[in-house]
């Protein structure tokens, strides 16, 4: 014991004899070495999205006669705007380039059993709000309102979270009608794509299409809606990328003034899309940028959550704690980052999509972090949601993977492994 004490004293005397500037240099060198070591490790393990294969930048849809078209080139706002940027040396800004009002990106991996119902509910809402059916309803509504006398109540089409009629209180110089669905088949090995084409064929060719039951509706004698040719586009990824990769890929090729991604299971109530549009409009900045996040936070304590296993609820709360610790301040305040129902204004896309790296379950968080880094306003909006059987999420394995992915993501952005164009 005494010998050990003498050794410690000798070490202290040796250190005391070393000039302070040498000690300081050694400490700084050690810290720099640690940072460089961590940087190299993170650079090695951080996700690096693969480039898209040429065939993945094409889509198929249905021709007017119901036949599947040959693969056609997808439009790419990102490529076009980056070409403009190189010529003009300006930041990428999307202005006035939208061809339709709403684009819906649906990532799908082996979803042949759940896709039909989700598409039914989606096209019914989209066609009534932004399509030809909605146009006729608006025309009828205008005629009805013109006959109303003074003192009678008027509505603005936004009751119960409705998005309002395209054209109501909207700048008429921009696109206010039309919609599209981009189904991104993420390396599916089942009949997901065939189901999508079958659905499109039924609703495009028939004057009285059959109405399929969905997660939020039951099959009735009521007919489905007829849809215009080419409104459903199918994009095939040759290799599975993961949900985040499929969503990001689809969002690079949208034509809409607003873009929402929605899960193929239809767990989120699609008619609540109007709430997201209204919220996004309400927070858009001077450049027209805004993000509206569908949230299930209001359901905590509800029957849908209480009936979940204790393990799943424990992992959910643990993940929320990790999010709070590892994400930037504004992102950390969002109560539900993982709901698969998020809306983006077109102007917000260039500050988010080109810088995406995560292709797994944690991609939502990176989108929100990028929105915060770019100063894009974000609104969290309560939406209807219920569990749909057939989820491909492995609770334990994927929860661990999400925690690891979040940690790597945060460190990569903090150390400059990932960088945004300023």
pLDDT at position 154 is: 38
For the chain, the domain total comes to 1
Quickly state the pLDDT bin for 386 (edges 50, 70, 90): confident
Token pair in block for residue 139: 């025309």
Nearest-Å Rg of the Cα atoms of the chain is 26
* Choice among 14-28, 34-48, 262-276, 404-418 with the minimum mean pLDDT: 14-28
pTM for the model stands at: 0.83
- Report if residue 30 sits inside a domain: no
Return the pLDDT at 390.
76
Residue 4 lies in a domain: no
Residue 39 lies in a domain: no
Does 398 reside within a domain? yes
Residues spanned by the domain of 323 = 46-146+155-415
CATH number, domain with residue 313: 3.90.550.10
**What pLDDT is attached to residue 1?**
62
Residues 6+ apart with CB under 8 A from 310: none
Distance CA 344, CA 273 (A): 12
User: Which pLDDT band, with edges at 50, 70 and 90, does 9 fall under?
Assistant: confident
Taking alpha carbons only, the member of 74, 36, 88 closest to residue 250 is 74
If phi > 0 it is left, if psi is from -120 to 50 it is alpha, else beta; for residue 167 that is left
Confidence grade of residue 149 (pLDDT, cut at 50, 70, 90): very low
Give the bridge partners for 235, in sequence order: 184
Asked whether residue 295 carries a pLDDT value surpassing 90, the answer given is: yes
Cα diameter, the chain = 103
Domain for residue 29, yes or no? no
Which pLDDT score, from 0 to 100, does residue 172 have?
35
Q: Which of 291-300, 301-310, 361-370, 393-402 is the least confident region?
A: 301-310
In-domain check, residue 265: yes
* Burial class of residue 96, CB neighbours in 10 A (0-12, 13-18, 19+): exposed
Residue 80 confidence (pLDDT): 84
Give which of 233, 188, 277, 235 is closest to 52, Cα–Cα.
235
Is 60 exceeded by the pLDDT of residue 45?
yes
Beta-ladder partners of 260: 104, 343
Residues constituting the chain: 422
Residue 23 located in a structural domain: no
Q: Three-state secondary structure along 186-204?
A: ECCCCCHHHHHHHHHHHHH
Structural tokens at position 241: 């990328």
From the centroid of its chain, how far is CA 277?
A: 14
Q: Is residue 11 part of a domain?
A: no
Cβ atoms of residues 93 and 287 within 8 Å: yes
**CA angle 49-55-61, nearest 5°?**
115
Backbone angles phi, psi at 146, to 5 degrees: -65, -20
């Amino acid at each position: 014991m005494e010998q050990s004490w003498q050794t410690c004293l000798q070490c202290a005397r040796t250190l005391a004899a070393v000039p302070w500037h040498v000690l300081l240099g050694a400490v700084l060198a050690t810290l720099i070495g640690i940072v460089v070591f961590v940087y190299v490790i993170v650079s090695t393990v951080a996700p690096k999205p693969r480039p898209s294969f040429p065939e993945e930048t094409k889509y198929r849809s249905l021709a007017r006669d119901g036949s599947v078209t040959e693969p056609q080139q997808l439009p790419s706002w990102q490529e076009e705007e980056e070409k403009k940027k190189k010529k003009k040396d300006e930041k990428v800004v999307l202005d006035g380039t939208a061809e339709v009002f709403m684009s819906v990106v649906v990532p799908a991996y082996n979803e042949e059993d759940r896709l039909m119902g989700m598409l039914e509910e989606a096209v019914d809402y989209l066609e009534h709000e932004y399509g030809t059916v909605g146009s006729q309803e608006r025309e009828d509504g205008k005629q009805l309102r013109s006959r109303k006398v003074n003192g009678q109540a008027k509505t603005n089409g936004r009751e119960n979270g409705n998005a309002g009629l395209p054209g109501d209180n909207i700048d008429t110089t921009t696109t206010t009608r039309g919609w599209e669905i981009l189904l991104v088949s993420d390396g599916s090995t089942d009949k997901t794509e065939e189901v999508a084409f079958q659905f499109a064929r039924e609703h495009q060719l028939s004057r009285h299409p059959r109405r399929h039951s969905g997660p939020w509706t039951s099959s009735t004698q009521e007919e489905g809606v007829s849809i215009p040719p080419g409104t459903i586009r199918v994009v095939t990824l040759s290799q599975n990328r993961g949900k985040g990769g499929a969503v990001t890929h689809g969002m690079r090729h949208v034509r809409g003034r607003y873009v929402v991604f929605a899960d193929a299971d239809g767990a989120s109530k699609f008619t609540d899309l109007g709430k997201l549009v209204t919220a996004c409009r309400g927070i858009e900045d001077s450049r027209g940028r805004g993000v509206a996040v569908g949230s299930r936070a209001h359901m905590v304590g509800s029957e849908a959550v209480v009936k979940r296993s204790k393990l799943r609820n424990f992992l959910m709360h643990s993940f929320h704690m990790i999010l709070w610790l590892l994400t930037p301040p504004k992102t950390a305040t969002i109560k539900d980052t993982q709901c698969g129902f998020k809306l983006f204004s077109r102007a917000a896309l260039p500050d988010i999509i080109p810088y995406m790296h995560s292709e797994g379950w944690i991609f939502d968080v990176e989108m929100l972090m990028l929105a915060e880094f770019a100063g894009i306003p974000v609104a969290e909006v309560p939406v209807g949601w219920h569990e749909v059987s057939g989820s491909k999420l492995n609770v334990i394995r994927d929860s661990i993977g999400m925690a690891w992915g979040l940690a790597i993501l945060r460190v990569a952005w903090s150390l400059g492994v990932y960088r945004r164009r300023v």
